[in-house]
Structure 1
Amino acid sequence: MSDDGVTARSVWVLVCEDDEQLGARVADGLRSAGFHVDLTRNLGEAGEQCGARLYDCLIVDRGLPDGDGLDLVRRQRESGDRTPALLITARESATDRSESYAGGADDYLAKPFSLSELAARVLALSTLRKPQPTPVLTVGDLVVDRIRRRVRRSGILLTMTTREFCALELLASRAGTLVTPAEIAAFCSDNPGSTATVDEVITRIDRKLGDPQIIHTSAAGYLLHA
């Protein structure tokens, strides 16, 4: 897929495919094209991942060990989640396609398929349907201005390095949700800034934000909560 020039550094994709060989091939192919990919094998795992992370696109097989992948899409739609969903399946009838679209799927790809075509469809779904980011993020008394790249707390302007601002921007955009060090490193990969580890960067941000502490650290990652 990388030969086709398809890249998507900021796109997070969930793949749910029970065929180990195909799942690995899809995940590896999408990663080589620049996507961030989580691979699951059944509806239970996929549901847990959807509850833990915000994805830009879902790729779901219809024939899974614990049910129809379309059921996952239906549940997402019923909960108000409009994350673009692409179904991959061996079912090719017009009835199956109609059922998939009626159930909330945005696209449909029959097996076997080209990885380059899959990547192109995922990129189109995730970028065309992706909402524009909120220009100003407000979490309690913390204000992160993405346009001017300024940070204020309780009205006081704080000085942040490029990497610190980038990490804080991600935390503020995902306020109330756990963000892993890998996610922060990937999000800030265009702004390496220094050789400092993510933990060191977060420590510096935390110090600059002052009290009361609003960044909470655990073994799994970081959570910003006012």
Structure 2
Amino acid sequence: MRILVIEDTDDVGEAVVHAFERMGHAVDWEKSRRDAEDALAVQNYALVVLDINLPDGSGFDLLSGLRSRGSTTPVLVLTARALVDDRVDALDTGADDYLVKPFDFRELEARARALMRRRQGSAVSILTAGNLALDQTTRAVSVAGRSVELTRREVCLLEVLLGHPGKAFSKNELLDQLYGFENEAGPNAIELYVGRLRRKLAGANVKIQTLRGVGYQILDLPDAQP
């Protein structure tokens, strides 16, 4: 999944970005309200992690503007403000969750996973199709109970497809979820990862189907060969 981190403090931002990249997500990191708004104008995100105190304005204003435009992107607010009124303001403005600094990164990761699951309409951390399972907490993948070793980006690609079974994703949509602004990759990269997934998921009764001129979708077909 692709995540936008909006945090102007270098050490906090670096730690948050590292935590999400370790989970296998593509991450864009912006340090100001203006740069964050520019990113949001051109890119869709699975999650926004938002610091309230930014050098060129309030994160509350950015959040309010995001919701006024009809965006339903989950927003997790990070702030040093610990008062109940501040938490209430964040939630009333449109935040989906709230975490007070300093925080334990295990809690940050757990809250982020919960928000992204909620967006997918899932209450549990395991995505399944047929005999294929992906644990979003441990990033472990199995076929009929057999562990399958995948790279970080292969897991991310599978997570996107399994999160919306049957939905067709274009190559550009998948690229957007696997790579941040600082990484350059072309449509051929998606073809490469899909090919690898098909080989590594041999024995799974699901199919990653190519839709010519459209993209890819994953289908739960008990009798299909991947």
TM-score bucket (shorter structure)? 0.5 to 0.7
* Greater relative CO (CA pairs within 8 A, separation 6+): 2
How far off its partner does 1:171 sit? 3.9
How far off its partner does 1:170 sit? 2.3
Native 8 Å contact 1:170 1:184 kept in 2: no
Partners of 2:189 and 2:94 in 1: how far apart?
30
Partner of 1:111: 101
Native 8 Å contact 1:97 1:108 kept in 2: yes
1:58 aligned onto 2:61: no
Partners of 1:57 and 1:183 in 2: how far apart?
23
Partners of 2:194 and 2:120 in 1: how far apart?
22
1:78 aligned onto 2:68: yes
Secondary structure in 1 matching 2:194:
coil
Aligned residues with identical type, % of pairs:
31
Q: Measured at CA, do residues 64 and 116 of structure 1 come closer, stay the same or move farther in structure 2, by a change above 3 Å?
A: same
**One-letter identity of the residue aligned with 1:82:** T
Partners of 2:109 and 2:189 in 1: how far apart?
19
**One-letter identity of the residue aligned with 2:52:** R
Q: Measured at CA, do residues 70 and 23 of structure 1 come closer, stay the same or move farther in structure 2, by a change above 3 Å?
A: same
Secondary structure in 2 matching 1:70:
helix
Given the two structures, how large is their TM-score scaled by the length of structure 1? 0.58
Partner of 1:170: 170
Secondary structure in 2 matching 1:129:
helix
1:16 aligned onto 2:6: yes
- Tell which structure's C-alpha radius of gyration is larger: 1
Native 8 Å contact 2:171 2:190 kept in 1: no
Show the 5 A alignment for 1:78-157: 78-130=68-120
Q: Measured at CA, do residues 171 and 42 of structure 1 come closer, stay the same or move farther in structure 2, by a change above 3 Å?
A: same
Native 8 Å contact 1:70 1:87 kept in 2: no
**One-letter identity of the residue aligned with 1:169:** F
How far off its partner does 1:70 sit? 1.6
**One-letter identity of the residue aligned with 1:109:** L
Native 8 Å contact 2:172 2:187 kept in 1: no
Structure 1: runs of 5+ lacking an equivalent: 1-10, 133-165, 195-204, 215-226
Q: Measured at CA, do residues 116 and 191 of structure 1 come closer, stay the same or move farther in structure 2, by a change above 3 Å?
A: same
The aligned length equals 151
Partner of 1:44: 34
Q: Measured at CA, do residues 193 and 32 of structure 1 come closer, stay the same or move farther in structure 2, by a change above 3 Å?
A: closer
Q: Measured at CA, do residues 183 and 127 of structure 1 come closer, stay the same or move farther in structure 2, by a change above 3 Å?
A: farther
How far off its partner does 1:128 sit? 1.2
Partners of 1:83 and 1:99 in 2: how far apart?
18
Partners of 1:84 and 1:171 in 2: how far apart?
24
Q: Measured at CA, do residues 187 and 30 of structure 1 come closer, stay the same or move farther in structure 2, by a change above 3 Å?
A: farther
Given the two structures, how large is their TM-score scaled by the length of structure 2? 0.58
**One-letter identity of the residue aligned with 1:118:** L
Native 8 Å contact 1:42 1:65 kept in 2: yes
Partners of 2:186 and 2:7 in 1: how far apart?
23
How far off its partner does 1:75 sit? 0.6
**One-letter identity of the residue aligned with 2:10:** E
Calculate the aligned-residue CA RMSD, in Å.
3.2
Native 8 Å contact 1:43 1:66 kept in 2: yes
Native 8 Å contact 1:56 1:130 kept in 2: no
How far off its partner does 1:21 sit? 1.2
Identify the match of residue 26 of structure 1 among 16, 28, 41.
Answer: 16
